[in-house]
Every structure is written in C-alpha cells, then in structure tokens.
Amino acid sequence: MSNTLLRLLQYCRPHLRLIFIGLGFLFSSSLAEVSGPLLIKYFIDTSLATGHWIAHEIGLFIITYLSLQGLAAFSSYKQALLFSRVAQYIIKGLRQETFSAALRLPARYLDNHQTGHLISTISNDTETLLQLYIQVIGQSIHKVVLLTGILGGMFWLNWQLACLISIMIIMSIAVMQIYQRCSMPWSRQARQLTSDLNHQLSETLQGIPIIQSLVQEKHFADKFAATNQQQLQARKKVLQLNGLLLRPMIDLLYIFTIGTLLSWFAIQGTSQIAVGVIYAFVSYMGRMIEPLNDLTNQLTQIQQSLIAGERIFTLLDEQKEPAGKYQQPIEGIIQFQHIHFRYQQDGDPILQDINLELYKGKMMALVGHTGSGKSTILHLLSGMYQPTSGNIIVEQHPIEEWNISSLRSQLGVIQQDPFIFAGSVADNIRFGRPNISDDDITQVLNHVQWFESINHNETVSMQLQEGGKNLSAGQRQLLSFARALVTHPPVLILDEATANVDSQTEHHLQQAIASIRHQHAWLIVAHRLSTIVDADEILVLQHGKIIERGNHSSLLAANKHYATLYQLQQLTVK
C-alpha cells in the first residue's frame, strides 16, 4: 500500500508551484491556530492573575487575537481551495491516462476481463482518488502540521506534561494501524463487489430487449440483489470496525488523557504550574482532539482510495500491444508462414501450420465450420493476437516490427455485427478522421447503395441512435462497408460481411466489390459459398487446419469437403 501511495503522490509533480503556495497558507494557518492559546496564556499570567489591567494592552490583545483567528480562517480557506484545485487537475490527467491505457489493451486482456470492471476502474476508481488527493495533500498534511505545532507548544510550556500527551498520540497511531490491517480485506472485497455491480448493470442494460423477450426480469433483478447484498455485508464489516476502533477509541483516549492531565494539575497546584499553562494545555487538548478525529475518520476514505489506486495501476501496468516502428504503405505480399496459435498457453490449438499468401488484386476466401479458425486468422493479420509460433510477414517485415497503428490504418475491416455509434451518418463514417470530406462520404455511400436502402430525402447528417437501433441489420452492414472503403485501404477484410443483407442488396454489394476488386487485396470469411465463387483462392479449414485449397471450380471437381458444403447449401436454397 505504501508503494501505491508513493506512486500516487508522484502525480503531484506537475503542480508543485500550487502545492508550495498551498503549503505556505497551511503553515500560516497552523501557526495562527497554535499562537492563539499561547497569547491567552500570556494574558492570563501577566494581566488576569496579577490584576494588572491596562486598557490599551487589553485592546491590543483583543485585536491581535482576532487577527490571528482571521488569519487562520483565511489561510485555511486558501490552502483548501488550492489543494482541491490540484486534486481536480490530477484526477483529470489520471482519468485520461487510464482511458488511453484501456484503449491500448491487447485483445487477450479483454478476453479475460469484463467490460463493466473496466468502466468501474476508469470512472469510479479515479473519482475515489479525488478524495485521496484532497485529504492527503490538503487536510491530512494540515492536521499533521497542526498536531506537530500543538505538541511543540506543549513541550515549550512543560515537557513532562507534553510527554504524557505524546503517549496518547502514539496510542492513537497504533489504533489506526490496527484498524488498517483489520479492515483492508473487507474494504478490498467491497471495492471488488462495487465493480461487479457496475458490470452487471452495464450487461443488463445492454440486454434489456432479450431479458424482456425471455421474461427474465426477476432472475436478473435477483442476481443484482444478491451481489448488492454481498457488497452491503462487506461495507457493514468496515463500519463495525469504524465504530469499534476509530472515533470511540480516540474519544476514550482523549477522556483518559484529559483526566490524567487535570489530576496532575490538582496534585501540583498553581504554585508549581501557572494558571495560564493549565489553560493552554486544556485548550491545546481541545484543539488536538479535532484533527485526531478527522485523521481517523479520513482513514477509511484514504484506504478506499489506495485500493482504487491499486486497481488503476494494475490496469496502467498491463502489458500493452507490441509497439514496432516500421510503417510504410502496404503494396506487396502478406504471408502466413507455418502459423500455429492457441489462446491459452496450455489450451487447445486453434490454428495449425497455416500458410497463405495475399497480395493486391487477389481475393482469398476462408470457409469452414464454426470454430475452424477463420476469424482467428483475421485477428492475427490485424495484430490483435500474436502467433504462438510461425511468422506473419507484411512488406518483407515480421508483423511484430510494424507500428500497429500504421498497419491497422491500412486494413479495412467489415464485421458481421458492426457497431454504430450515436451521431450522424457522416460521423460514423468519418470516425475521427478529419481529412474525409462530406463529398467523399456521399460518394462511398452511393457506391454501396446506402441511399437505396433508406428514405431518399435523408442526407449524411441523418442522426443515428446508439448501436444503430434506428437502422436495420442490413443498413448497419452497408454503413460498415462505407466506413471501411472511404479511405481506400490496400487490404480489405470481410468477416461474414454480407450475412445480414437481403439478396438484392448483396447483389449490389457484389457489383461494388467487383468494380474495385483489383485495387485491393481481399481476405473474406464466408458461410454463404455463393458469395465467393469468383475468389482467386479458397481455403477450407477444419479444426484449425487447411484441408483443401484452390478456386471454386477446382474444389468442386475434387469432390471433397468443399463440394459437400456447396451442394448442401444449394439444396437448402432450393
């Protein structure tokens, strides 16, 4: 936990100027608060106890005391404002860093981690850290400085009594340490369960139509309630420890110490200890209990923040995608050389000895039963995963040497279930690429017959709902085609891209593909074999192996697995 705290404090470096100004106000506030009881002690010993009353001295005393209180209040306000501002700046940068890190996570990480947990880390955990920076940088430092100043004032007045007060402070620190050790497992569990709640919420909201259609509202409500109850139990354990070890224990130590202090005064008498010293110590004790209680009350929040920091740094430290440096236009040959792949090191092989060659103007199709490894080949080409063994060569360079962003920018990917973002049609096609004009967008939409599928009065400014809910499956597919084609990428990857379009739209798309066929290299996954009869080479996969290869005519003539698949589909169509 100490390493996490030190790492979190390193984010303060860019804001040292504001922090030092805040520390100046903090010390000023603490000095003014510590000076108040000393001033009253001086007034009691020199004026009140001796009966020596001088009007201008009393007026000066009142003005000085009020000035000190005003200075303490103003400085406290300024330091709290500055530290809160620093905290907001830090959280803004940390949230952006965490989000950017999530965007660079490899596919393997996303396979093993739930989306809701990532959302919880980026939003909830970073927000929790806000309180850490406000309390640790601001309030905790303020309380520690104030306690140090009060203790210094006590030692200056009477070192024996100050040693007695020091024992109370040491015991309070021991109580905090015991609390931290006992409550940490429950706090960590509560944080994890909060993340689980966010995941269930995200998953359930996305699947509401399916849940309602299957009449499973009660099941999902009960599942959420069970996790919610577990989270409540974990938090109750932390609250029970709070009630036992924090505020009540500190109050008990304070009462015991103040009783011992007054007993000491009673035994020694005013002949040994001045009345002003008695007042100063009692006043200091009253001022000391507040920061001690504040520190103990903040301990729970600080602990939660450190756990949140652990989760954030786990995400930030996750191995990112390989960062090669080579980046050139793809014009030559893409080769898979003896590729083997498995998702888990000790898992079943997904691909075995895959060899293929792709180049501009060539259309290659991958066919086979579900789970035969077709989509995995596409993922390997786009750098989502690295081969277990073998080499993928792009432009005479191994794929791991390529800058992954440069490589992917030259791959146009058209998925079976494309995701549509809320916004206009133009926004979904432009996709953050400002060099794409509205004319380019209109041209590519015409090319894929988009306007034929909707109201002809609609334009590229047509607003789309989240996930493209106001579009049909075929319209979303056409939009995905346009998004991939608009930049004229040298390599086009189609993953069941025509599965959700009607026969007429599919025919138009086939015509569009034929018109630009020789401008790109094509890698197509297809279940409907009628869409790939013109492919230059067809690879038939089974259990991760290529069992047949050739063009449509040669594979039919071989009368093996491909021919059987094609004949079955023809019978189904009839």
Q: Are residues 97 and 124 in the same domain?
A: yes
The tokens of 239 are what?
């609250």
Residue 84 lies in a domain: yes
C-alpha distances out from residue 479 to 431, 467, 521, 565, Å: 12, 12, 20, 30
DSSP code per residue over 370-403: TTSSHHHHHHHHTTSS--SEEEEEETTEEGGGB-
Note down pLDDT in tens along the chain; length 574 residues.
Answer: 568 888 888 888 888 888 888 888 888 887 787 777 767 766 666 666 556 666 666 777 778 878 888 888 888 888 888 888 888 888 888 888 888 888 888 777 777 777 777 777 888 788 888 877 776 666 677 777 777 777 787 787 777 777 877 787 788 778 777 777 777 777 778 877 887 887 787 778 777 777 877 778 888 888 888 888 888 888 888 777 777 766 677 777 777 777 777 777 777 655 555 666 776 777 777 777 777 777 776 777 777 788 888 888 888 888 777 677 888 888 878 999 999 998 887 778 899 999 999 998 899 999 988 888 888 999 899 888 889 999 999 988 898 888 888 888 888 888 877 888 888 888 888 877 888 888 888 888 888 877 777 765 667 888 888 777 888 877 888 888 888 888 888 999 988 877 667 777 777 778 778 888 888 899 998 888 878 888 999 999 998 999 999 999 999 999 998 888 888 877 665 5
Which pLDDT score is estimated for 551? Answer: 92
Q: Are residues 63 and 152 in the same domain?
A: yes
Burial of 347 (0-12, 13-18, 19+ CB in 10 A): exposed
Q: Are residues 105 and 246 in the same domain?
A: yes
- Residue 519: DSSP 8-state: G
| Residues forming a β-bridge with 356 | 336
**Number of compact structural domains in the chain:** 2
C-alpha distances out from residue 123 to 312, 317, 412, Å: 10, 18, 32
CA 138 – CA 26 distance, rounded (Å):
8
Residue 321 lies in a domain: no
Q: Are residues 244 and 361 in the same domain?
A: no
Residue 62 lies in a domain: yes
Q: What is the pLDDT of residues 422-453, one digit of tens each?
A: 888 888 888 778 888 888 888 888 888 777 77
φ/ψ region of 551 (left if φ > 0, alpha if ψ in -120 to 50, else beta) reads beta
Q: What angle do CA 177, 182, 185 make, to 5 degrees?
A: 125
- Residue 343: DSSP 8-state: S
Q: Are residues 542 and 424 in the same domain?
A: yes
φ/ψ region of 152 (left if φ > 0, alpha if ψ in -120 to 50, else beta) reads alpha
CATH of the domain at 72: 1.20.1560.10
Helices (H), 416-541: 425-430, 438-447, 473-485, 503-515
Which pLDDT score is estimated for 272? Answer: 54
Which pLDDT score is estimated for 473? Answer: 77
Per the CB < 8 A criterion, the answer to whether 373 and 541 are in contact is yes
Q: Are residues 306 and 359 in the same domain?
A: no
CA 499 – CA 369 distance, rounded (Å):
15
- Residue owning tokens 């401008």: 519
Closest CA to 524 of 393, 387, 375, 324: 375
Which pLDDT score is estimated for 508? Answer: 72
The tokens of 198 are what?
């966010």
Q: Of 256, 285, 316, which marks where a domain is finished?
A: 316
Helices (H), 410-490: 425-430, 438-447, 473-485
Which pLDDT score is estimated for 571? Answer: 65
Q: Are residues 473 and 427 in the same domain?
A: yes
Distance between first and last Cα of the chain? 68
Which pLDDT score is estimated for 126? Answer: 83
* Rounded (10°) CA dihedral 453, 454, 458, 464: -100
Residue 559 lies in a domain: yes
Q: Are residues 207 and 99 in the same domain?
A: yes
Angle subtended by helix axes 275-316 and 16-43, to nearest 10: 160
Q: Are residues 219 and 70 in the same domain?
A: yes
Per the CB < 8 A criterion, the answer to whether 250 and 178 are in contact is no
CATH of the domain at 546: 3.40.50.300
Residue 52 lies in a domain: yes
CA 403 – CA 324 distance, rounded (Å):
4
Q: Of 261, 283, 316, which marks where a domain is finished?
A: 316
Residue 31 lies in a domain: yes
Residue 322 lies in a domain: no
* Neighbour count for residue 468 (Cβ, 10 Å): 20
| Residues forming a β-bridge with 525 | 366, 495
CA 11 – CA 166 distance, rounded (Å):
33
- Residue 102: DSSP 8-state: H
The tokens of 141 are what?
């430092």
Residue 130 belongs to domain spanning? 2-316
Query: In the β-sheet with 491-495, what is the strand arrangement from edge to edge?
Result: 411-414, 491-495, 521-525, 363-368, 537-542, 545-550
Q: Of 268, 283, 316, which marks where a domain is finished?
A: 316
Q: Are residues 262 and 340 in the same domain?
A: no
Which pLDDT score is estimated for 311? Answer: 85
Which pLDDT score is estimated for 550? Answer: 92
Distance of CA 417 to the CA centre of its chain: 25
pTM over 0.85: no
- Residue 190: DSSP 8-state: H
Cβ contacts of 398 within 8 Å, gap of 6 or more: 391, 392
C-alpha distances out from residue 529 to 288, 554, 573, Å: 81, 14, 12
Q: Are residues 300 and 371 in the same domain?
A: no
Residue 328 lies in a domain: no
Which pLDDT score is estimated for 472? Answer: 80
CA 82 – CA 87 distance, rounded (Å):
9
Closest CA to 550 of 539, 560, 565, 541: 539
CA 336 – CA 346 distance, rounded (Å):
23
Per the CB < 8 A criterion, the answer to whether 338 and 389 are in contact is yes
CA 471 – CA 420 distance, rounded (Å):
9
Q: Are residues 383 and 481 in the same domain?
A: yes
